[in-house]
Amino acid sequence: MLVDFDTLPEESRVWIYQANRSFSDVELTQLECQLETFIEVWTAHGKDLQSGYKIVYKRFIVISLNQSINNATGCSIDASVHFIQELEKQYNVDLMDKMNVSYKQGEFIAYKTLLDFKAMAKNKSVSKNTIVFNNLVHNIAEFNENWEVPASESWHSRFLK
């Protein structure tokens, strides 16, 4: 059951998929339709899942689930992963690789491999004040408070000296 992302409770679970490039405006229109269609029929053992989504910075797909109504199951999570994998193929984009880092570079969103980010930290191209995206947040409250943070306040801090 599709609902507006911003109406979901703060304890709703989130999954964040970061793209290795920005989606075009045409792709965003298509992507929104596909997300709405998927979420409308997304179920767990035949029970509707109250879910919403948002696309942030033309690059991050954030799906949220109100677990106080129904929890996701292994099968429903598998269905969502399969859906994301289909999007990867259709748009020729990487959404599942968790070993990459996105961060702000002025007004732009940069995307680097973890190894490149570590090297940039070592040569001081990024600092503890660099805004990074902590895609390990678990719920909407954490997403709102701890997703877009200085590297010093994220798991990325281990690479900064």
On whether both 104 and 85 belong to a single domain, the answer is no
- Domain end call among 61, 91, 121: 91
On whether both 19 and 56 belong to a single domain, the answer is yes
Q: Where are the beta strands (DSSP E) in the chain?
A: 13-18, 43-44, 47-48, 51-56, 60-65, 100-105, 108-113, 131-133, 148-150
- Domain end call among 91, 117, 145: 91
On whether both 105 and 123 belong to a single domain, the answer is yes
Map residue 122 onto helix, strand or coil. helix
On whether both 81 and 107 belong to a single domain, the answer is no
Q: Return the closest-CA partner of residue 22 out of 55, 62, 63.
A: 55
Q: Mean pLDDT of all residues in the chain? A: 93
On whether both 9 and 75 belong to a single domain, the answer is yes
On whether both 70 and 117 belong to a single domain, the answer is no
In this prediction, residue 4 carries a pLDDT of: 96
- Domain end call among 62, 91, 120: 91
In this prediction, residue 70 carries a pLDDT of: 83
Q: How far apart are CA 38 and CA 33, in angstroms?
A: 9
Is the full-model pTM beyond 0.85? yes
pLDDT at 161 over 80: no
Task: Give the list of residues 6+ apart from residue 64 with CB closer than 8 angstroms, or none.
Answer: 5, 8, 12, 13, 14, 15, 51, 52, 53, 140, 143
Instruction: Assess contact for 154 and 132: CB atoms under 8 A.
Output: yes
Number of separate domains in the chain: 2
Domain that includes residue 126, residue range: 100-159
On whether both 43 and 61 belong to a single domain, the answer is yes
On whether both 86 and 21 belong to a single domain, the answer is yes
pLDDT band for position 72 (cuts 50, 70, 90): confident
In this prediction, residue 140 carries a pLDDT of: 98
What is the mean predicted confidence (pLDDT) over 82-111? 94
